[in-house]
Amino acid sequence: MQLAAQPSVRRALTWLDQNTDWVTEQHIRIVEIPAPTFQETERGRYLAGLLATCGLRVHTDAVGNVIGERPGPSEGIVLLTAHLDTVFDPVREIRVQQKGRRLYAPGITDNGAGLATLVAVARALHEAGVRTGRTIVFAANVGEEGEGNLLGMRQLIQTYRPRLHAVISVDGAATDHIISKALASKRLEWSVRGPGGHSWSDFGLPNPIHALARGVARFARVPVPEQPRTSINVGEIRGGTSVNSIPAHASIKVDIRSEAPAEIERLEHALREAIQAGVEEEMAQARIKDVRLTIEVRELGVRPGGELPEDSPLLAAVRSADQFLGNRSRLERSSTDANVPLALGIPAVTLGGGGQGGGAHSLQEWYDPTGRALGLQRVLLTLLLMTGVLP
Ligand SMILES: [Zn+2]
């Protein structure tokens, strides 16, 4: 690879090789600042400080994305992003525990590994004095997890779209995959309401929890195809105030994903029928007949699908970085920040930040930084192949 022979690029690659301990230190500090979706401000502020020490002009946009620009003279922008947010509760104090080579903490891999990569690449370019052709926009973005609905990435695309050349998002660990296909998904909340009352003296009123339970049981029996790969999940169920009250309200949150958007539509329809039938059944069985339950549905999020074409220069860039580094990887489909640009036909991939990780979205989440330099160099080279480097 010609690019990697340029002295400044060689210096950047060497810097990454020699400074993985520094990167892991930053990684730990970042992860110990809690950042649940919609509460990323404090972690964002810390990232802003780190990016500012890498010679970037840093600002925070209207939704809370922390953005560091590294201007280049050529037309077009390459956006390098990592999401700030985690799925975990705000009150939890986070302390990274080390056992052997593994670091344990919620969010250590997803997306501590991505954020550390963002900082490492910015720092390496700065230390090595790399001058890129295109402008790089580094962004630690909000709203990737849970109900964030890719809020941060949507905002970034809106801001930079006319000049966007490519988007590289870094999410999680590893170097064995290239997420070039966006997994479409839909998230819905269904609520059922009634008058509620006393469990004994008002017995006979229709019960919103019973109604939803009947509906969920029906939905769980709906066949889900293996091909195209598809999933359904009732991930939350809420309602009621006490064991001896007929609840006035109950709700569920449902996630539907599929490689085929038509399957999402079919399952959304099946969910609607299941809930409606469950509510009807509950009212039909209730002794008090003149009371009706009401149903409400709310869309929590829609992630659009899309794919990077096989002949995309961005895909070629990742593959030549892999070839240069002696890394093997396969194409994958997943639901990430890259969904937003991919759905709009903007070249985008999601890569891992190197090292190994596991237990994402659980309290047993871990990260092992062994071999992390490979992941950092892979992201750096892919980025520079897209921006071009000036002598
Ligand atoms: Zn993530």
What are the two backbone dihedrals, phi and then psi, of residue 95, each rounded to the nearest 5 degrees? -125, 125
Amino acid at 68: G
* Chain position carrying tokens 């330099």: 373
- CA 159 – ligand 1 centroid, Å: 22
* Residue 18 CB-density burial (10 A; 0-12 exposed, 13-18 middle, 19+ buried): exposed
- CA 145 – ligand 1 centroid, Å: 7
- CA 345 – ligand 1 centroid, Å: 22
- CA 132 – ligand 1 centroid, Å: 28
- Tokens coding 347: 């070249």
Q: Is the pLDDT of residue 191 over 80?
A: yes
Dump pLDDT digits (tens) for 73-127: 999 999 999 999 998 766 568 899 999 999 999 999 999 999 999 999 999 999 9
Residue 88: per-residue pLDDT: 74
How confident is the prediction for the chain on average, in pLDDT?
Answer: 96
Mean pLDDT of 148-155: 95
What domains are defined for the chain? 2-182+305-390 (3.40.630.10), 184-303 (3.30.70.360)
Residue 91: per-residue pLDDT: 58
Judge contact between 50 and 66, C-beta under 8 A: no
Neighbours of 128 (CB within 10 A): 20
Amino acid at 124: A
- CA 117 – ligand 1 centroid, Å: 13
Share of the chain above pLDDT 70, in %: 99
- CA 173 – ligand 1 centroid, Å: 10
- CA 195 – ligand 1 centroid, Å: 41
The whole-angstrom separation of Cα 329 and Cα 332 is 9
Residue 90: per-residue pLDDT: 62
Dump pLDDT digits (tens) for 326-372: 999 999 999 999 999 999 999 999 999 999 999 888 888 999 999 99
What are the two backbone dihedrals, phi and then psi, of residue 93, each rounded to the nearest 5 degrees? -80, 135
Mean pLDDT of 61-80: 97
Q: What is the dihedral of CA 278, 280, 285, 287, to 10 degrees?
A: 130
- CA 196 – ligand 1 centroid, Å: 40
Dump pLDDT digits (tens) for 303-334: 888 999 999 999 999 999 999 999 999 999 99
The whole-angstrom separation of Cα 23 and Cα 98 is 16
- CA 262 – ligand 1 centroid, Å: 25
Residue 178: per-residue pLDDT: 98
- CA 146 – ligand 1 centroid, Å: 10
